[in-house]
Amino acid sequence: EKRQSSPSNNDDDSWFYETPVIVEGALSVAECETLCDTIISECGSIEIDLQRKRSLGTDIYPTTLDQGLDFLMSSKHGDSIFAFCEGLLQDTANEKQSDSAKRLETVQNTLCQCREKIFQ
């Protein structure tokens, strides 16, 4: 649902969405594959929690990011699976050695530039 952030401001920039918005084409297929390969190779063994939400309730499952990706890809309406890993890249980059940290920093920078380009 689209709503205006301030009733007194009629500028188009003041609109926001209360539901998630899917953005396509922000990166090329090759860029996506490179970023995903880097994240999986550098962070795949890190423990995360998956949240599975069904009509019967919500469950939390501890797993690795690598294993969790298969579950995330099987998510569907009525049986959805989420992973909340907001600090994953930054925290991992701070803990890793210089080459790995640089690779993760490149991933972070690419995603930030992409976000800035889309939401200007």
Distance CA 4, CA 14 (A): 6
Mean pLDDT of 93-117: 74
State pLDDT tens for residues 6-44. 544 455 556 666 776 777 888 889 988 988 888 888 888
**Res. 120: pLDDT tops 70:** no
What's phi and psi for 52, nearest 5 deg? -110, 120
Maximum distance among all alpha carbons in the chain? 51
DSSP 63: E
Q: How far is CA 91 from the centre of its chain?
A: 15
What's phi and psi for 87, nearest 5 deg? -95, 10
3-state secondary structure of 118: helix
